[in-house]
Amino acid sequence: MQQANTVEEFSIQVAQEFIRTAVVIDDRIYEDQKIKLNVPEIVQEPKRKKALKESNTPNQNSSDNISGDHDDKEMFSWQQLVTSFAKKKVVCALYQPEKKAKFSATSEVYKLCLASDIVIVDWNLDGSLGKKALELIANLVQNSLEDIPEQLRLILVYTSESNLESIANDVFEELKKELGEDIQPQTEDHGLSMHTSNSRIVILGKPVHVHRLEEYKTHEVLEKDLAERSIKEFSKLASGLLQGTVLLGLAKIRENSRKILSKFDSSLDPAFLTHRALSLPHAEASDQVIPLLMAEFQSVLEDRLPNPILSTALIEDWCSQWEPTSNAKTFVDYEVDIKKFATDFCLKGSGIKKEYPTVKILDSLIDQDNCWNTDDISSYRQITNFLHFDNKQNKNHEFAALMSHRTHYGNIEPALKLGTIVCVKDNAHSQYLLCLQPLCDSVRLSGKKNFIFCKLQSGTNKRTSFVVKENGEFKELFFRPNAANCVVVEFKADKHAKSIIAKNSDIENIKWFVSTSDSKYLWLAQLKSDHAQRAAEQFASNLSRVGLTESEWLRLMSK
């Protein structure tokens, strides 16, 4: 993959690497190779109120709306459409539903679309004036938010209808009824696109000879250009540097799926079953397949992703588009080029100190060894919020949690083990605890079992070891590993899971561990295994300190 120089180029390249499937739903596919499109002679008035602004559609009676010298039928090539995707290495399926076909969440059409990265649907299926298309779109978007919330999907309405604005209004209002604030129109596309957290819906016009408003001409796409436009629209679902990098990683894993599978050839089955037999009953060997697979994924990413992933040109382009907040403007001297400072900060780190002598705050933030100094916590928080678009979003906390917390996919019941962070209320006071129980003592349990915890300090505002989210807000917690902070709590193991399992509360997304004394311990987070192991090592190291009699002069001299 050629190294991109702009954020937009990078996002499009990544999208093209990732996308593999597209499906076109139309009611006129199985006619002649080149079909005639029914083209309305005049622009229809919008049926509903525009999502972003009042309609300025030309008057129905205007002579400009009539398609001049051109025939009222337009030729369309399915071959060119499919070929456009083939050139991008995307498999494109053409599907014509039967006239009596259903478009519900149990229909064949829906299931086909569910398996595709890109869904392209005609608006006027079998003369339904958008009714069938709306049902399909609503079901797909709802599914993307509820049943499979991690899947990205682009939905394109590709139509010969003249009034794209009216179609966008209909789609938006239908989704608004189901999703509320989860659906948002995109102002940069004149209201012809809308977003949920993982779906993008765009209205595109077939370039037929009818009058469309000039502002919507950018949404007219030839069939031979549809694949390129689809990839560009899909890239807006993962347009950030970090999202783009992750999407590229997923593409590389899928690209190397055969090689990964070859490492687990069926000839290894006898060895694996032998290993399993030798491990039982003390361990279940199939659990060890997960770390094996993770190691292969890591190898693919280390070997196949470009190094560096983000080029200097890409970072410079990001900074050129960055809009400084009031916090950023007050951080540097007014004579300093703030965007150049941001670029140097991203590319040089603590090396910026010598280049910006007038920015005096850097003197306290960067020490003589050119290392970041956190003693002045207020200044440190200023520099770490310098690039942020909104100082109140706590994105440093969110990123720190992403790096240290295990993500849970699906509505699972967390188990209590090494690295679990919980909170217990004691007379309206919240006490945060980190579980330090060894992993081998957290499984295959029966009856009652004592678990070891270490207290975490909250609200210190100076030193932070972990961040957790509680009631929608981040809490900073400090880990002080010593015996004085040790707590032992007794729990009863679940008979089926043979471990301590969190119970669902009456409040959504709230889970509790209940001790044998009926105290409730709110589950907050599960640290990744390496972060949890480091905490256990720090605690064990503190307990293993050797106390001895020595010269105080010599002890102090050794510090």
* Predicted confidence (pLDDT) per residue in 384-428, tens digit: 999 998 766 678 999 999 999 999 877 788 999 999 999 998 877
Question: What's the whole-model pTM score?
Answer: 0.80
Provide the strand spans (E) within 160-267. Answer: 184-185, 193-195, 199-205
pLDDT above 80 for 63: no
Q: Where are the beta strands (DSSP E) in 277-332?
A: none
445-464 pLDDT per residue, tens: 999 999 999 999 987 667 89
**pLDDT confidence of 31, banded at 50, 70, 90?**
low
Query: Which residue from 525, 417, 435 is spatially nearest to 487, judged by alpha carbons?
Result: 435
Per-residue buried b or exposed e for 239-252, using 16+ beta carbons within 10 Å of the residue's own CB: bebeebbebbbbbb
Contact of 89 with 40, CB cutoff 8 Å = no
Question: Which whole-number Å values give the CA distances from 45 to 37, 122, 128, 177, in the listed order?
Answer: 21, 20, 18, 22
| Helices 7-18 & 226-235 angle (0-180, nearest 10) | 110
332-354 residue pLDDT tens: 888 899 999 999 999 999 999 98
Which pLDDT value is given to residue 147? 63
Tell me, what's the pLDDT at 71? Answer: 40
CB 219 within 8 A of CB 204: yes
| 69 burial via Cβ count (<10 Å: 0-12, 13-18, 19+) | exposed
pLDDT band at residue 96 under the 50/70/90 scheme: very high
Reported as a single tens digit per residue, the pLDDT across 218-251 is 899 999 999 999 999 999 988 889 989 999 999 9
Q: How does DSSP assign 258-285, residue by residue? A: HHHHHTT-GGGHHHHHHHHHHHTTT--G
Alpha carbons 500 and 513: distance in angstroms, whole number: 7
| Residues 172 and 161: beta-carbon distance below 8 Å | no
Q: How far apart are the first and last CA of the chain?
A: 52
- Which structural domains are found in the chain, ordered by start? 7-54+68-241 (3.40.50), 322-393 (no CATH), 412-543 (no CATH)
